[in-house]
């Protein structure tokens, strides 16, 4: 109904037109009537019991499906015996303190106590049981806690959950009251346990560890009870006052029947009334009824829930110029005369306030536009700074030099790509830690996925030597040109970050180190496969030493830098290490860098890096393949820590087969194993000039393989051709006249790094 108050007439003028006494009487009478109606609405706003059935037991309401007679209740399980109105109870003598239509009953539960007086136990009070209806009532898991109080007490809670026996317990101890903390139930003086869903027919039992002999003076009893949450607050006094507490408040959940809503909605025993919904019980079998939104009352009665008059709520439609209209299940606000609805704001306004509101809206929109523009300008400036920073990093990391080298005719076959930082961020999901596939002393390796579904490995180094940028760029150009089946391919790099990123092809099956030393994988790699891996690795290193231009010395050959694909094909990599490009100098003293256990002793002493340093490291890998032992084991006696020294000692004493891995000694032919062992011995010579070249090692290993595979073929028939192909090297690769070994610059200066075999 529209309200039309005269804005020019005040309340005092209206009272002046009426007799003051008459007005006062009318106001008083109306006030009394409204108060009585409001009181009646508060007490009994909707029916709660069946017609002609009592609904009060003392001061407590008994809503249907419960009833004070069997005819007024759903069935005997919901009959409330009100003989004693102060303690009504339902079947199995569950005392009722309050019944909620939301599916809960407030009740009381006995306190199980275990008391000792001068060593004599009160045996009649340590166990209490609560037997509930088998279909309808369970101990509420959301409203209760199982609580144990005492300084020498252990208590048990036993019940049934879905017809299966359930048991739990809790222990509470303390030596003196000095350790007790009020409000704390963590096991000192008090402990508590959550109640599981659907628990019924519970039994409580309280016991003592030592008959309370040590704490009898201040705590002769232990207590166990189920308590409604927020009704029990532990304190030191609880140790004494609980002795006089016979029962504690507890909450039971109730539901109808043992069927779900889908099963019962079309049956005659379904009792949810109009404007109500059916809800399955969360604590066990059965269902409950609930009023729809906008309705209230008892959903279990046949007439169901009644519409709520939301207009009685002063918080609804309380804006200026609004009036409320109640509708079934909802309400609507409308504008009274003299006001109209402002569609943009959804409020009732006068003409004047509408203009003011529109002005405010305009100011607000202008402010938002300014804010958006400012944010856009800030982002543009920030983006420009980021672009400039990336360009500075690109130039600082040698990007211009790399572009110039890639554009030269002699590098026309180079396949190195310069990636952007956005490409690599997207490929690694912004360098997600879950995509890390390797960590080393020099950086971290991520697994990346490009839009064309190519999987790559992205190496993010920790530091970079700015004085060696040109050397680094040369390395990228040379490595990108290497296309060997046993060398991990360098796909490109990103120079827009503070430290350059390298992108390699992804090898999925891990490292040779994992296959040799992992107990579950070692037996998979047979001697035949191991010999092939050794031959392939030697061939790759020989290619780097003699066929690459300029030659490349790996400097960190180890089993964790040899990757294996799905067919156990070896792929030499340098994840976790720095690869060098030798220059055209004859000698340079450098700082030593490499992995302990694999490091060339001559290189450690002289700091002169030659390709014979790779030969020594490969010899250690060859011994790993033979013995299955790690290159360096700190958990062994000092004499046996270095695999190379230990192996040479066994070989010297003619005890080769004692150090070989058991299944390798059984699989391999004795003569072949001896030849491989002798080759490893030659690789491990202290002086580089006494070691074979990687070309000789590769040739010998391949010859052993062919001799084993094709005994009828003359292995040396193509030796001259092989020798010729492997002997072609770059003019920029210089040899030392005495040992024919390349002496090179080390691109890492001012650092001494010993890598303890950190994998990729």
Point out the residues that are catalytic.
556
Residue matched to tokens 């490109």 = 492
Residue 326 pairs in a beta bridge with 331
End-to-end CA distance of the chain: 80
Residue 222 pairs in a beta bridge with 114
The three state secondary structure string of 21-74 is HHHHHHHHHHHHHHHHHHHHHHHCCCCCCCCCCCCEECCEECCCCCECCHHHCC
d(CA 656, CA 675): 11
Contact 327/309 with Cβ under 8 angstroms? Answer: no
Strands (E), 565-641: 570-572, 593-595
Rg over alpha carbons for the chain, rounded to the nearest Å, is 44
With 0-12 / 13-18 / 19 or more C-beta atoms within 10 angstroms meaning exposed / middle / buried, residue 407 is exposed
d(CA 87, CA 95): 6
Q: How many CB atoms sit inside 10 A of residue 290's CB?
A: 17
Range list of H helices, 309-443:
351-396, 399-406, 421-427
Residue matched to tokens 């920030």 = 382
Sign, CA torsion 87/88/93/98? negative
d(CA 38, CA 672): 105
Sign, CA torsion 586/735/532/571? positive
d(CA 68, CA 342): 56
Residue 228, phi-psi category: left (phi > 0), alpha (psi -120 to 50), beta (remainder): beta
Q: Is 133 helix (H, G, I), strand (E, B) or coil?
A: coil
Element (H, E) at 437: strand 436-439
With 0-12 / 13-18 / 19 or more C-beta atoms within 10 angstroms meaning exposed / middle / buried, residue 658 is exposed
């Amino acid at each position: 109904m529209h309200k039309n108050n005269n804005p020019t007439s005040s309340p005092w003028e209206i009272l002046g037109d009426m007799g003051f006494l008459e007005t006062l009487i009318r106001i008083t009478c109306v006030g009394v009537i409204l108060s009585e109606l409001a009181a009646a609405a508060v007490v009994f706003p909707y029916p709660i019991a069946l017609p002609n059935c009592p609904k009060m037991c003392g001061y407590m309401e008994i809503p249907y499906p419960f009833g004070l007679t069997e005819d007024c209740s759903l069935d005997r399980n919901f009959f409330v015996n009100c003989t004693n109105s102060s303690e009504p109870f339902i079947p199995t003598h569950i005392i009722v303190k309050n019944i909620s239509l939301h599916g809960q009953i407030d009740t009381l539960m006995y306190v199980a106590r275990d008391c000792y007086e001068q060593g004599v136990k009160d045996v009649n009070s340590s166990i209490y049981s609560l037997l509930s209806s088998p279909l309808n009532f369970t101990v509420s898991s959301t409203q209760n806690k199982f609580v144990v109080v005492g300084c020498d007490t252990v208590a048990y809670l036993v019940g049934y959950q879905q017809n299966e026996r359930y048991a739990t317990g809790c222990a509470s101890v303390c030596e003196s009251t000095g350790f007790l903390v009020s409000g704390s139930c963590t096991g000192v003086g008090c402990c508590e346990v959550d109640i599981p869903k659907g628990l019924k027919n519970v039994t409580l039992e309280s016991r003592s560890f030592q008959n309370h002999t040590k704490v009898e003076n201040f705590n002769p009893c232990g207590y166990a009870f189920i308590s409604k949450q927020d009704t029990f607050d532990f304190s030191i006094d609880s140790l004494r006052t609980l002795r006089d507490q016979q029962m504690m408040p507890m909450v039971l959940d109730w539901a109808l029947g043992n069927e779900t809503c889908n099963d019962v909605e079309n049956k005659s025993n379904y009792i949810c009334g109009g404007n109500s919904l059916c809800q399955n019980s969360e604590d066990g079998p059965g269902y409950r009824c609930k009023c729809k939104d906008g309705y209230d009352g008892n959903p279990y009665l046949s007439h169901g829930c009644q519409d709520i008059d939301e207009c009685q709520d002063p918080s609804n439609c309380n804006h200026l110029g609004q009036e409320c209209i109640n509708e079934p299940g909802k309400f609507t606000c409308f504008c009274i005369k003299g006001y109209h609805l402002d569609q943009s704001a959804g409020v009732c306004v006068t003409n004047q306030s509408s203009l003011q509101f529109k002005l405010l809206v305009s100011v607000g929109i202008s402010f938002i536009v300014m804010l958006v523009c400012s944010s856009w300008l800030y982002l543009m400036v920030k983006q420009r700074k980021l672009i400039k920073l990336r360009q500075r990093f690109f130039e600082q990391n040698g990007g211009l030099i790399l572009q110039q080298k890639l554009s030269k005719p002699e590098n026309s076959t180079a396949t190195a790509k310069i990636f952007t930082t956005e490409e690599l961020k997207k490929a690694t999901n912004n360098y997600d830690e879950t995509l890390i596939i390797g960590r080393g002393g020099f950086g971290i390796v991520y697994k990346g996925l490009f839009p064309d579904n190519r999987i790559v490995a992205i190496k993010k180094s920790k530091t970079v030597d700015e004085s060696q940028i040109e050397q680094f760029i040369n390395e990228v150009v040379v490595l990108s040109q290497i296309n060997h089946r046993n060398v991990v391919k360098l796909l490109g790099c990103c120079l827009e970050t503070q430290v350059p990123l390298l992108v390699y092809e992804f090898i999925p099956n891990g490292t040779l180190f994992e296959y040799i030393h992992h107990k579950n994988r070692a037996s998979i790699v047979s001697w035949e496969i191991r010999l092939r891996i050794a031959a392939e690795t030697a061939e790759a290193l020989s290619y780097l030493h003699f066929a690459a231009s300029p030659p490349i010395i790996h400097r960190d050959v180890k089993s964790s830098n040899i990757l294996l694909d799905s067919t156990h094909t070896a792929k030499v990599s340098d994840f976790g290490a720095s690869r060098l490009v030798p220059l055209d100098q004859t000698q340079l003293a450098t700082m030593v860098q490499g992995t302990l256990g694999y490091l060339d002793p001559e290189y450690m002493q002289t700091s002169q890096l030659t390709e014979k340093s790779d030969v020594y490291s490969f010899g250690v890998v060859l011994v790993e393949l033979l013995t299955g032992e790690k290159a360096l084991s700190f958990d062994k006696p000092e004499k046996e820590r270095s695999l190379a020294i230990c192996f040479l000692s066994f070989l010297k004493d003619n005890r080769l087969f004692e150090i070989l891995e058991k299944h390798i000694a059984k699989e391999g032919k004795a003569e072949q194993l001896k030849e491989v062992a002798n080759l490893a011995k030659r690789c491990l010579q202290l002086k580089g000039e006494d070691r074979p070249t990687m070309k000789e090692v590769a040739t010998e290993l391949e010859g052993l393989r062919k001799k084993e595979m094709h005994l009828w073929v003359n292995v040396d028939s193509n030796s001259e051709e092989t020798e010729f192909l492997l002997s072609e090297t770059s003019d920029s690769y210089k040899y030392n006249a005495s040992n024919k070994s390349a002496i090179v610059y080390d691109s890492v200066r001012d650092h001494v790094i010993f890598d303890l075999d950190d994998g990729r």
